[in-house]
């Protein structure tokens, strides 16, 4: 499992983030992002995942995050960062399964050695 | 260039506001099997006067694998009229395993073909997000609303500042719980309906006229 800090992600472009996540997940890793992805990056990740699905090799990803929350600071709003990404967990669909999720908690089950 | 394009967009929005242009391109989004095509067919039947349908409906996930568009549906509600172009999109998902389809009795070859087409359908649904004026996010009221597809679609609409109406579908089922959806996404309007039976559908048309008109 890799826990990736907000500092590491904020210096990467969207495509670099998506590639990093998918490469790790396709190797069977669970990735936890401290600050998550923007909504646009999330759909790009889903889109890229769809292009890489292969029968018997990679069936896609399980991704869970909390609903976006609005950035609080005045500067966030000025620079268009009104919606902040939140902690996100991403893993291979055949290894990570969401048990329960609500506004405040995500419970997942991880299968090892599948 | 960015300033000019932004100025042009803002000017267009103001002209539309001033002259009350009531035409909108609306996408039906949601996870597979939420009832998007059932709702699209219901809207078409109620307002087009034609016999056609958006597509066939089945219990097998990813039955709709290509976006289907119908233009110029005139909806009248609340004393106002709105012209809609409706796009019924394939179900959004983050994973597609052909074995899921085999559980519904499809052959391995059919299942693999459907899985391939379903991945293309998800990509098409994502592409349409960039070309819409608003969406109806269709959720199955008997299911947990906190799915990533719902969270991601709502996040995108909020980031783009586009209108969104949540349709809590399948109210005809005994375990339907629209209150869970309302509590999950309290910042958005939620309309409970049964697209299959047509119950409370007039409330949806009123909400569409209010939201997108």
3-state SS of chain A: helix, strand, coil percent to 5? Answer: 30, 30, 40
- Listed in sequence order, the DSSP H helices in A4-104 are 6-10, 14-26, 39-52, 74-78
ipTM of model:
0.84
Full set of structural domains in chain B with CATH: 22-212 (3.40.50.300)
Domain count, chain A: 1
pLDDT band at A54; cut points 50, 70, 90 = very high
Mean pLDDT, consecutive 10-residue stretches, chain B (213 aa), reads: 60 54 88 94 86 81 89 87 93 94 94 95 94 95 92 92 95 95 94 96 93 84
Query: Cβ distance A98 to A111 under 8 Å?
Result: no
Distance CA A35, CA A6 (A): 5
Distance CA A36, CA B35 (A): 30
Bridge pairing between strands B23-29 and B68-77: unpaired
pLDDT band at A55; cut points 50, 70, 90 = confident
Distance CA A50, CA B118 (A): 9
Secondary structure element (H or E) that encloses residue B168, with its range:
strand B164-169
Residue of B nearest to A92 (CA): B95
Q: Count of residues for chain B? A: 213
pLDDT of residue A76 exceeding 60, the answer is no
Chain B residues touching A55 at Cβ < 8 A: 98, 112, 115
Q: What is the mean pLDDT of residues A45-73?
A: 85
Q: Count of residues for chain A? A: 114
Q: What are phi and psi of B81, to 5 degrees?
A: -125, 135
Residue B1: per-residue pLDDT: 47
Query: Cβ distance B164 to B188 under 8 Å?
Result: yes
Distance CA B203, CA B178 (A): 15
Secondary structure element (H or E) that encloses residue B25, with its range:
strand B23-29
pLDDT in tens, A8-32: 999 999 999 999 999 999 999 999 9
In this complex, the residue of A62, A65, A83 whose CB is nearest that of residue B95 is A62
Q: Give the single-character DSSP code of A65.
A: E
Question: Nearest C-alpha of chain A: how many angstroms from B27?
Answer: 16
Residue B7: per-residue pLDDT: 62
pLDDT, averaged across chain A: 85
Q: 């608003």: which residue's tokens?
A: B134
* Dihedral sign computed on CA atoms, order B48, B51, B55, B58: positive
Query: What is the domain range of residue A30?
Result: 2-110
Q: How far, CA to CA in Å, does B98 sit from each of A104, A105, B111, B125, B203?
A: 33, 30, 5, 20, 38
Residue B48: per-residue pLDDT: 84
In this complex, the residue of A42, A65, A93 whose CB is nearest that of residue B95 is A93
Buried b (16+ CB within 10 A) or exposed e, B113-141: ebbbebbebbbbbbebbeebebbbbbbbb
Question: A53, B96: Cβ pair inside 8 Å?
Answer: yes
pLDDT of residue A114 exceeding 80, the answer is no
Question: B146, A101: Cβ pair inside 8 Å?
Answer: yes
Bridge partners of residue B73, in order along the sequence? B84
Residue A96, classed as helix, strand or coil, is: strand
Indicate the pTM of the whole model. Answer: 0.86
Chain B residues touching A53 at Cβ < 8 A: 95-96, 115, 119
pLDDT of residue A72 exceeding 90, the answer is no
Chain A residues touching B94 at Cβ < 8 A: 46, 49, 60-63, 93
Residue of A nearest to B148 (CA): A64
Question: A61, B94: Cβ pair inside 8 Å?
Answer: yes
Q: 């219990």: which residue's tokens?
A: B59
| Nearest C-alpha neighbor of A106 from the set A87, A83, A93 | A87
| Nearest C-alpha neighbor of B85 from the set B43, B125, B118 | B43
Query: Cβ distance B56 to A21 under 8 Å?
Result: no
Question: Nearest C-alpha of chain B: how many angstroms from A81?
Answer: 9
Tokens encoding A106 = 């995500």
């Amino acid at each position: 499992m890799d826990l990736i800090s907000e500092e590491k992600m904020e210096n990467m472009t969207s495509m670099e983030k998506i590639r990093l996540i998918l490469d790790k997940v396709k190797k069977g890793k669970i990735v936890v992002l401290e600050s998550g992805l923007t909504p646009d990056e999330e759909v790009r990740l889903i889109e890229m995942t769809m292009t890489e699905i292969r029968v018997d090799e990679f069936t896609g990803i399980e991704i869970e995050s909390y609903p976006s929350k609005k950035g609080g600071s005045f500067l966030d709003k000025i620079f268009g960062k009104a919606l902040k990404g939140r902690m996100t967990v991403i893993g291979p669909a055949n290894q990570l399964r969401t048990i329960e999720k609500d506004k405040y908690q995500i419970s997942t089950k991880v299968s090892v050695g599948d | 260039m960015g300033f000019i394009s932004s100025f042009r967009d803002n000017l267009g929005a103001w002209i539309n506001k001033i002259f009350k242009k009531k035409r909108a391109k609306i996408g039906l989004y949601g996870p597979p099997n939420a009832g998007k095509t059932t709702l699209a067919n219901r809207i078409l039947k109620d307002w087009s006067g034609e016999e056609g349908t958006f597509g066939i409906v089945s219990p097998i996930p990813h039955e709709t694998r290509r976006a289907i568009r119908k233009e110029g549906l005139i909806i009248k509600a609340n004393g106002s009229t709105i012209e809609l172009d409706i796009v019924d999109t394939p179900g959004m998902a983050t994973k597609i395993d052909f074995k899921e389809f085999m559980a519904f009795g499809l052959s391995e070859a059919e299942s693999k073909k459907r899985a391939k087409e379903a991945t293309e359908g998800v990509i098409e649904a994502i592409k349409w997000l960039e070309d819409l004026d608003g969406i109806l996010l269709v959720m199955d009221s008997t299911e947990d609303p906190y799915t990533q597809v719902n969270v991601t679609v709502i996040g995108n609409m909020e980031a783009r500042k586009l209108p969104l109406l949540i349709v809590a579908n399948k109210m005809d089922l005994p375990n339907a719980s629209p209150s869970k959806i309302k509590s999950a996404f309290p910042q958005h309007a939620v309309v409970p309906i049964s697209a299959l039976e047509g119950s409370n559908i007039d409330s949806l048309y009123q909400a569409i006229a209010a939201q997108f008109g």
